[in-house]
Structure 1
Amino acid sequence: MSSSFSERLHRVIPGGAHTYSRGDDQYPANAPEILVSGKGAYVTAADGRTLLDYGMGLRAVTLGYADERINRAAIRGMELGVNLTRASVLELEAAEKIVELVGTDMVKFAKNGSNVTTAAAKVARAYTGRRHVCVPRQHPFFSFDDWFIGATAIKRGIPEVHHATTLVFDYGDLASLQKLFAEHPGDIAGVMLEPATTVGPCDAAPGYDRMRPPTPEVAQWPGNFLRQVQDLCRREGALFILDEMITGFRWDLRGAQHLFGVQPDLSTFGKGMANGFAVAALVGRREVMEVGAINRPGQERTFLVSTTHGGEMASLAAFLETVAVYEEKEVVGHLWNYGAQLITGLETLAREAGVEKHFQLQGNAISMNYLTFDRQGQPSLPLRTLFSQEMIRHGVLMPWIAQSFSHGEPELQRTLEAARKALAVFAQAVEGGVERFLQGPAIKPVFRQFN
């Protein structure tokens, strides 16, 4: 295959894309170098291939690519002027809608998740007068800003002073968080975490079923990790902050916080809230958010989030229409049901291929991930690359699994048929070695120190 598109991309864009998870090193050699368009659950590449997609715009597209109803709403927003000199009526309506949905008081809109998570950290420090923010080491990404990236393996260009106040604990291990509070008494401003990834706060609760949303009874389980963190933050005077960038508009329209029975002081949303249009949001309690207010005479100012495009009307109109679709149709239920069928189907195929110990589905129906293990039981990126490579060979792009409302029965059957063929090759690679089946290098972790 010609490398002209890849060469052109790397010539003008550092990393070859504007998100590292879209980079060449995240895909097998037979993946499309560049895409032209998407429609429903499918993407079309410049080389003419049309692939069933499970990346879905890095999980941002929950209804489907180029949804006509959402696009028409965005056009209406453009026709209103796109971006006005003062706050717009549409901006107000969008703000009122999200605080109503989440059950909180105030919101600041932005264009990407990093802006609002960084704002959450700033608000926590401003409100509490404290220095430190705690995040789980198991949650890979909160922000591209120095306060977080400096705490990862990629520290180049970031002075230590910029990330020294970011502390790391283990998700699911309350003692590791309590230890940080003991080591920094009265100086932890907030705890920021995702409600759940492929590992959730109630996985060990009696009655928990990974194929369905957690029930109120599951959420009331005393071991609910989110409730434990919330209670600890309340006792210690720190803010409890949930990053719902991925869980929001997937687990539940109101956020995973609703399912797990917690009330964070601050929450961040993005990705699926506008079916791929650029909207992110910081929402929270009035008392906390008003550190950024300008109508409180004499209050010391906090420069919270100030973005030219935060009130851009095309995306906010897309957000409002996305919510309307969710409210009219059983979008979240479909995502859960489709995921449950996909888990069942893939696990059945893995058993039939004799590789159930080497190809496994982690997580639940709404947030699953496939894991690959070698004959020694160790995680294997070459085997993961091989599975992805073979799925692409049979018309399915599955860098991870993010189903949409556009994934239906035909897509499920197409996926399972591709997986049947991919796992047959996978089984041979487990037995005889993966290298002879790979067309190119194995994928690499995004968060690594060296290329």
Structure 2
Amino acid sequence: MDAEDFELPRSRAANERLHALIPGGAHTYAKGDDQYPEHLAPVISHGKGAHVWDVDGNRYVEYGSGLRSVSLGHAHPRVTEAVRRELDRGSNFVRPSVLEVEAAERFLATVPTAEMVKFAKNGSDVTTAAVRLARAVTGRTRVAVCADHPFFSVDDWFIGTTPMSAGIPAAITDLTVSFPYGDLAATEEVLARYAGDVACLILEPAGHAEPPPGYLEGLRELAHRHGCLLVFDEMITGLRWSEAGAQGLYGVVPDLSTFGKALGNGFAVSALAGRREFMERGGLRDTHDRVFLLSTTHGAETHALAAAMAVLDTYVEEGVTARLHALGERLASGVREAAASRGVGEHVVVRGRASNLVFATLDEYGQPSQPYRTLFLRQLLAGGVLAPSFVVSGALDETDIDRTVEVVADACGVYRKALDAGDPTPWQGGRPVKPVFRRRA
């Protein structure tokens, strides 16, 4: 279907209902309709495997499923069966379920670089718990976050550093400082500037580029030499880099690490893991002042822990990480070839590890462009591809990848026309998509 003729009347009406009742029209800002071309933000009816259907009846090949959380595909039978078994057995009790120890054993067997684990419901819970624990262990107040990684938590210590800092006291924001990824000398300057006051360095161990040789090892040495903890945010890298996360792939053991997203294949479960000597500060067998580490009413719901165990088993037994890499490599190669063949190889750019691909849309000057992203997304949607990123799931097959490449090729043809015209506006179909973090709506 031509993008000019592509309409989503039922989704448009559903979005109006969403905005009337839910601030932002979604429960995650990255899912907001401002992230999509105007009036072309599909509202999802259901999903199966690598496909989703919107309320208008359109079927899409989907990428970045659940903001990277649904890595096995929607309604994965092994996961749903594990969840279904628990639903009739009760989900939450006044004392721990036996599934809590079984899930902990399964997690620590898969991520052997950690010695203890505590489960919660979302990534922010566990990253904030890691920060609190690091402050308690070190007796220090400041947190150093990697400036090159976009998100760590919805809590004040991080959100106060973004353009959406309304409602957060400066006194809290001032306690968070930043360091650049891959630059040990610059990081040491930060630690020297706040000598004896930085509790931890927190970062994603890898992003769209591989860590420089020796960087993660050097960062661990640097952190320990300056008396602070090293925290790996493995929300994205966990399972997608290896079954044991980036720490398992690169062989660098952090003091604490946090997992989520792929861990539950869409079910709400996250994990704080780390060295026993630190994790026990939040327990009942330590002599230091107690740390209120994590205490969540729903953090150990049995069906979510069952989902996590099924996910871990599936990854290990079926080699899912390797499959994600193979699918991603096929997609990246196809997209790059399609873009080059349409003369936009320097403007539609695929980046990242094969299991975690993103794309950049660059203007005629080689600068990131929201108007060109809008044009590109609009063409993809009309072709039946829902792709805010090119992050693959294990449910995709080669037919899905090849179909996606065909749609991308058509989109790149339109992209070339816009570049030749020097103006993407005629192909935008309305206002451009917007960045998530901005001061005004």
The TM-score, its normalising length taken from structure 2, stands at: 0.95
Moved more, 384-393 or 30-39: 30-39
> Which residue number in structure 2 is paired with residue 300 of structure 1?
289
Describe the SS at the equivalent of 2:177: strand
Describe the SS at the equivalent of 1:190: strand
User: Which letter does structure 1 place at the counterpart of 2:51?
Assistant: Y
Contact 1:240 1:265 in 2 (8 A): yes
Is 1:424 aligned to 2:413, yes or no?
yes
| Distance (Å, rounded) in 2 between the aligned partners of 1:170 and 1:180 | 10
User: Which letter does structure 1 place at the counterpart of 2:63?
Assistant: Y
| Distance (Å, rounded) in 1 between the aligned partners of 2:261 and 2:296 | 18
Q: Return the offset for 1:91.
A: 0.8
| Distance (Å, rounded) in 2 between the aligned partners of 1:286 and 1:364 | 31
> Which residue number in structure 1 is paired with residue 254 of structure 2?
264
> Which residue number in structure 2 is paired with residue 340 of structure 1?
329
Cα displacement string for residues 238-292 of structure 1 (whole angstroms, at most 9, x for unaligned residues) = 1010000011011111101111110000000000012111000000000011111
| Distance (Å, rounded) in 2 between the aligned partners of 1:431 and 1:333 | 40
Q: Return the offset for 1:87.
A: 0.8
Structure 2's unaligned 5+ residue stretches are 1-7
> Which residue number in structure 2 is paired with residue 440 of structure 1?
430
Contact 1:77 1:315 in 2 (8 A): no
User: Which letter does structure 2 place at the counterpart of 1:238?
Assistant: C
User: Which letter does structure 2 place at the counterpart of 1:342?
Assistant: L
| Distance (Å, rounded) in 1 between the aligned partners of 2:355 and 2:42 | 28
Q: Return the offset for 1:300.
A: 1.4
Q: Return the offset for 1:117.
A: 0.3
> Which residue number in structure 2 is paired with residue 216 of structure 1?
none
Q: After TM superposition, list the pairs within 5 Å mapping 1:30-429 onto structure 2.
A: 31-103=40-112, 104-202=114-212, 223-296=213-286, 298-429=287-418
Contact 1:41 1:65 in 2 (8 A): yes
| Distance (Å, rounded) in 2 between the aligned partners of 1:30 and 1:195 | 37
| Distance (Å, rounded) in 2 between the aligned partners of 1:359 and 1:386 | 12
| Distance (Å, rounded) in 2 between the aligned partners of 1:140 and 1:67 | 29
Q: Return the offset for 1:226.
A: 1.3
Q: Return the offset for 1:312.
A: 0.3
User: Which letter does structure 1 place at the counterpart of 2:203?
Assistant: L
Q: Return the offset for 1:190.
A: 0.4
Describe the SS at the equivalent of 1:267: strand
| Distance (Å, rounded) in 1 between the aligned partners of 2:255 and 2:429 | 49
Q: Return the offset for 1:30.
A: 5.3
Q: Return the offset for 1:33.
A: 3.5
Cα displacement string for residues 217-238 of structure 1 (whole angstroms, at most 9, x for unaligned residues) = xxxxxx3321121110121111
| Distance (Å, rounded) in 1 between the aligned partners of 2:86 and 2:407 | 40
Contact 2:357 2:392 in 1 (8 A): no
User: Which letter does structure 2 place at the counterpart of 1:273?
Assistant: L
| Distance (Å, rounded) in 1 between the aligned partners of 2:221 and 2:255 | 12
Q: Return the offset for 1:63.
A: 0.6
| Distance (Å, rounded) in 2 between the aligned partners of 1:388 and 1:196 | 26
Contact 2:63 2:388 in 1 (8 A): yes
Contact 1:133 1:190 in 2 (8 A): yes
| Distance (Å, rounded) in 2 between the aligned partners of 1:427 and 1:57 | 31
Q: Return the offset for 1:79.
A: 2.2
Contact 1:111 1:278 in 2 (8 A): yes
User: Which letter does structure 1 place at the counterpart of 2:61?
Assistant: L
Cα displacement string for residues 53-79 of structure 1 (whole angstroms, at most 9, x for unaligned residues) = 002111000110011221110111222
Describe the SS at the equivalent of 2:85: helix
Q: Return the offset for 1:27.
A: 1.0
Contact 1:5 1:33 in 2 (8 A): no
User: Which letter does structure 1 place at the counterpart of 2:246?
Assistant: A
Describe the SS at the equivalent of 1:437: helix
Describe the SS at the equivalent of 2:308: helix
Contact 2:110 2:312 in 1 (8 A): no
Cα displacement string for residues 96-131 of structure 1 (whole angstroms, at most 9, x for unaligned residues) = 111222111111110000000000000000011111
Aligned residues: 430
